[in-house]
Amino acid sequence: MVSTGVEDGVGLTALMVAAARAIETHRHDTLARDVYAEHFVRAAAVSADWPLHPADVHDGDANPLWGRMARYFGLRTRVLDDHLVRAAQAGTRQVVLLGAGLDSRAYRLDWPPGVTVYELDQPEVLTFKHNVLTDLEATPLTTRVPIPVDLRDDWTTPLLAAGFTPALPTAWLAEGLLLYLSGADETRLITTVDHLSPPGSTLAYEVKPRDEHPRARLNPLYAYTLQHIGLDLPTLFNKDDRPDSATTLTTIGWSTTSHTPFDFTRLHGRGPHPEPDDAFGRNRWVFATKGR
């Protein structure tokens, strides 16, 4: 096993999502394949015995974590994969993953020639990812530029130093990031993305409003996750009132659409369906394009 630095807090959520992607990869009706995900999970001591295959999941899709939530992450992966590939096929040649985690999009998506994928995340997360992929002798399918940085600090300077060109349209992605940031940090991030984006740029992100119904915190998902992998998710979510970033983007020249995850469950015919006191009920996936 390699040195991780991702075995608690938000870093542990990266392993949880990797396990969900591994399970999704092995489904007969998979929406997204990530052959590297299981290697990340097995490389960390804390997750070495987590399930990686649907057959290993007790109660199947009824399992709150490795069933329903894993379906959620599988669906989210597919939707955001499609978003980025469409942007690249339309001519975008810069992709910036804000909070890249243990995703391997640079290694697994069918990128057109000339695309550069910038991965921004905590140094320990990117180091862990690098060590695992190096051990596998994995080769990215496009240019990949990892940038170790805390997104609560100045990340523009290291991004520009790494070769990012603000004059070129960019596909930005903040997958599972904003719910851990303060309201001020989210606003700063959105403002920075706008500042670095010429017309034609896109941004996709996930939000979880703070004012979700209190009963949602009683969903079995949270107790199960704490009991089985030691992760207390609600304590990680930032308690600030959430800014309305979609409206902010609209007022400064972006067109935005907001969807529930269940919109895409209906579209793809697979994924989580609404349930009482739903932990995903207020989650929104937002897609924005900067006007010309």
pLDDT in tens, 261-290: 999 999 999 999 999 888 898 899 999 999
Burial letters 78-106, b for 16+ CB under 10 A, else e: bbbbebbbebbeeebbbbbbbbbbbbbbb
Q: Give residue-wise pLDDT tens across range 90-142.
A: 999 999 999 999 999 999 999 999 999 999 999 999 999 999 999 999 999 99
Strand 116-121 versus strand 94-98 pairing type: parallel
| 9-290 placed in CATH 3.40.50.150 | yes
Vertex 268 angle, CA 263 and 274, to 5°: 45
Percent of the chain with pLDDT over 90: 83
What is the reported pTM?
Answer: 0.94
Q: Give residue-wise pLDDT tens across range 53-70.
A: 999 998 999 999 999 999
